[in-house]
Amino acid sequence: MLDDQELLRYSRQILLPQIDVEGQLRLKQSRVLIVGLGGLGSPVALYLAAAGVGELHLADFDRVDLSNLQRQVLHDSPAIGLGKAESARRRLAAINPQIRLLTLETALDAGSLSAAVAAVDLVLDCSDNFATRAAVNAACVQARVPLVSGAAIRLEGQLSVFDPRLPDSPCYHCLYGAGSEAELTCSEAGVAGPLVGLVGSLQALEALKLLAGFGEPMIGRLLLVDGLSTRFRELRVRRDPGCAVCGAHDG
């Protein structure tokens, strides 16, 4: 049930017929893993905490650096040198003391990542490298846990949702394969702060849709964001029957 404080706190989204009290209860009962608490993970964590998602698992082994603050709005100057997971926990607890926050402050290996994914209802990949994205995807496929994936670099962003509970849903590997050895990072190529804010906010919206059960999540669709021209393109993504990741987990 929702108490009087919760009904008041979440009143503006409860007013939405697509959410209502029933959807808010679903959010309260949900457990979510956020992998990466940087540029994308900042708006994701802030909006999911504010929306009343009952339990957030915050995974990041990095520490807050001065160069992060241009875009990682979850952290502030006094948090420099602090672990990002702990910095996030403190900020989110101040925003919404009614939710549960768990921190994962060490690098996740195959075993610990599998356990972390299996313990939640939804995963948001807000990491900044292909190896982590591939590992998170494989763990989600194995555990049949839906994944909201976002990426941003320079002035370009991408967003998609992968749901291994559905037979026709592609996975991250269906779309990107083995990735690229020449992958660039934000520290090498740069990134605009508002772009990661935009993509992360869209990730949070997709998460709320999946958790509360409303709208049309971006399953089988890839959103491409061109920040330079402020244009959006959508591509259809089909499941690869021969995918080395999800193709091995049919049935």
Q: Which domains does the chain have, with CATH numbers?
A: 17-249 (3.40.50.720)
Distances in Å between the Cα of 11 and the Cα atoms of 2, 7, 18, 155, 239 are 11, 6, 13, 35, 39
CA distance 22 to 9: 15
User: How confident is the prediction for the chain on average, in pLDDT?
Assistant: 95
CB–CB of 151/227 below 8 Å? no
Q: 20: burial class by Cβ within 10 Å (0-12, 13-18, 19+)? A: middle
Amino acid, single-letter form, for residue 157: G
Distance of CA 80 to the CA centre of its chain: 23
Amino acid, single-letter form, for residue 122: L
Tokens of 6: 């919760």
Give residue-wise pLDDT tens across range 70-127.
999 999 999 999 999 999 999 999 999 999 999 999 999 889 999 999 999 999 999 9
Distances in Å between the Cα of 202 and the Cα atoms of 14, 77, 120, 171 are 19, 26, 20, 19
Q: Kindly tell me if the per-residue pLDDT of 180 is higher than 70.
A: no
User: Which has the minimum average pLDDT: 54-63, 142-151, 174-183, 184-193?
Assistant: 174-183
Tokens of 187: 């520290």
Give residue-wise pLDDT tens across range 205-228.
999 999 999 999 999 999 999 999
